[in-house]
Structure 1
């Protein structure tokens, strides 16, 4: 099977499709060295994300091992994650930084 989506970090709950994916097509990605698949339940445009698991309303979308934001509605596995169902959440980056010891 040819890989047609990329997982950036093994903690991610989405992958990014590197081709247009039609509903019913198989999305193929690697998690570490394991080849994984999920069936697209709707069309996923090139360079957009697909949910790997059911994601509840107000849950975090994780990509690159980091939160991209929260969902505005539940997103079932195999569905498109887009600006229509994802919103940014302000972060306090200062509190997340590793403090240097003096």
Structure 2
């Protein structure tokens, strides 16, 4: 069962996409598991469908959109603070070599 505030775009995805803002502290049911959302999740942002390990591909629309930069637990916010684009260097919050 998927909470209606989150959508699974493809059965291959390892993230759910938020389609209605969810505040921290709200309980949701995803993959038949109850979960308390730890941080506010805005529309269009992602949460982990499974536990993800640093370096895992983030799969959305059935295709990789980037890689995790740290371990991410089931239900945690997946965004530029803990993932990076594998395609566009500017789509990360990490500094590139030589940047201050």
- Under a length normalisation based on structure 1, what TM-score does the superposition of the two structures give? 0.70
CA contact (8 A) 2:3 2:28 kept: no
Q: Distance in 2 between matches of 1:2 and 1:62?
A: 19
Aligned residues: 85
- Matches for 1:79-94 after TM superposition, within 5 Å: 79-90=76-87
Aligned to 1:25: 26
Q: Distance in 2 between matches of 1:27 and 1:4?
A: 9
Aligned to 2:67: 70
For residues 18-40 of structure 1, the C-alpha deviation after alignment (integer angstroms, 9 at most, x for no partner) is 111123324467xxxxx856522
- Under a length normalisation based on structure 2, what TM-score does the superposition of the two structures give? 0.72
Q: Are the structure 2 counterparts of residues 10 and 2 from structure 1 closer, same or farther at C-alpha, using a change threshold of 3 Å?
A: closer
Q: Secondary structure at the match of 2:59?
A: strand
CA contact (8 A) 1:21 1:27 kept: no
For residues 41-100 of structure 1, the C-alpha deviation after alignment (integer angstroms, 9 at most, x for no partner) is 33212221011111000101001010011011111111100111111113xxxxxxxxxx
CA contact (8 A) 1:13 1:63 kept: yes
Larger radius of gyration: 1
